[in-house]
Amino acid sequence: MSFELKSPENERAAIQVPKEISNLTKPFNGTLCSQDGDEYDVKNNIIDILGGQPDFSSLASYTNHWKLTATIYEEIWRKRSLSLLTGEDFPIEKEHELLIEWTEPKENGLYLDLGCSTALYGRALKAAQSKADVVGLDFSMQMLEEARLKAEADETNLFFVRADGKEMPFFSKTFDGIVMGGTLNELTEEVKVLNEAHRVLKENGVLFMMHLIKADAWYGRLLQESMGIGGIKFWTKDESNKLFKQAGFKVEEQITRGIVCFTRLKVD
């Protein structure tokens, strides 16, 4: 399936994205053009809606634009992180099982991995439902380049878009599902991004959220407060649910393990 992007210049102008861009075995370079004529670069299959560098408004967002962070992120940190953060044996396969069970990717569905980094969730969705299409969005070109390498190595076809989650280049009600793994904690303006997620999700669509909540123990809170200086934010489970409600979502299912919280959200 090809899909449409919404031009950031004119909200009524569409940019047609050909299906072949998601075939990562064939490098795609050039430009995509909206109906109004504004053009966007495609470098090595990654559609760059932002051009230039985004604002680095926190240390966390700054380091996500480092090549080194992108290269080591998944193997060194991401695949082990949940066992450390939950305090129990929590292999990545267990997280993927929950992701698929709650997201239920369907044939011909369109899914968004929002703040995808190396697109761990995006690849898992496509592995579970090869007839769905998946878009990985991040504002870090370094992360998207690494995501592209990993998806190509896995022979997984994905679309990649470099854009800001605060102003997504998608029309309303585009996606059957959105997945966000750990992204919420790193956002500078989480309400704006959640409002955007609500806008681009179809009425019966699902938002799978994995995020970190405030620790109970004083030493955990102390550590989290120091991480706050770097731009990583934490909320209690109740505060998180207030945030979701404020953006127009209702909680359908929720599990917490240690400071890790998994939530299945639907449009209210």
CA distance 182 to 13: 32
Segment lying near ligand SAM (by CB under 6 A), choices 12-20, 31-39, 127-135, 164-172:
164-172
Which pair of tokens denotes residue 194? 């959640």
Q: For ligand SAM, which residue of 186, 215, 224, 263 counts as binding (CB under 6 A)?
A: 186
CB nearer ligand SAM, residue 182 or residue 258: 182
**3-state per-residue secondary structure call for 10-24:** CCCCEEEECHHHHCC
Residue 140 lies near ligand SAM (rule: CB under 6 A): yes
Which pair of tokens denotes residue 250? 């209702």
144: enclosing H helix or E strand: helix 141-153
Q: How far is CA 50 from the centre of its chain?
A: 16
Query: 257: which residues sit within 8 A by CB, 6+ positions away?
Result: 82, 86, 87, 88, 90
Q: For ligand SAM, which residue of 3, 139, 160, 262 counts as binding (CB under 6 A)?
A: 139
User: Measured from the CB of residue 194, what is the shortest distance to ligand SAM in angstroms?
Assistant: 11
Segment lying near ligand SAM (by CB under 6 A), choices 24-32, 39-47, 132-140, 247-255:
132-140
| DSSP-assigned states of every residue in 29-47 | -EEEEBTT--EEEEETTEE
Residue 78 lies near ligand SAM (rule: CB under 6 A): yes
User: Measured from the CB of residue 89, what is the shortest distance to ligand SAM in angstroms?
Assistant: 19
Residue 21 lies near ligand SAM (rule: CB under 6 A): no
| DSSP-assigned states of every residue in 82-139 | HHHHHSS---HHHHHHHHHHHH---TT-EEEEET-TTTHHHHHHHHH-TTSEEEEEES
Residue 120 lies near ligand SAM (rule: CB under 6 A): yes
Residue nearest to ligand SAM (CB): 181
Residue 202 lies near ligand SAM (rule: CB under 6 A): no
User: Measured from the CB of residue 153, what is the shortest distance to ligand SAM in angstroms?
Assistant: 16
Residue 138 lies near ligand SAM (rule: CB under 6 A): yes
CB nearer ligand SAM, residue 33 or residue 254: 254
Q: For ligand SAM, which residue of 183, 224, 240, 263 counts as binding (CB under 6 A)?
A: 183
Kindly tell me the burial class for residue 214, based on how many C-beta atoms sit within 10 Å of its own C-beta (0-12, 13-18, 19 or more).
Answer: middle
CB nearer ligand SAM, residue 33 or residue 50: 50
Cα separations (Å) of 161 from 45, 82, 124, 141, 263? 9, 27, 18, 9, 25
User: Measured from the CB of residue 26, what is the shortest distance to ligand SAM in angstroms?
Assistant: 25
Residue ranges that bind ligand SAM, judged by CB under 6 A:
61, 64, 78, 115-117, 120-121, 138-140, 143, 164-166, 181-183, 186-187, 193
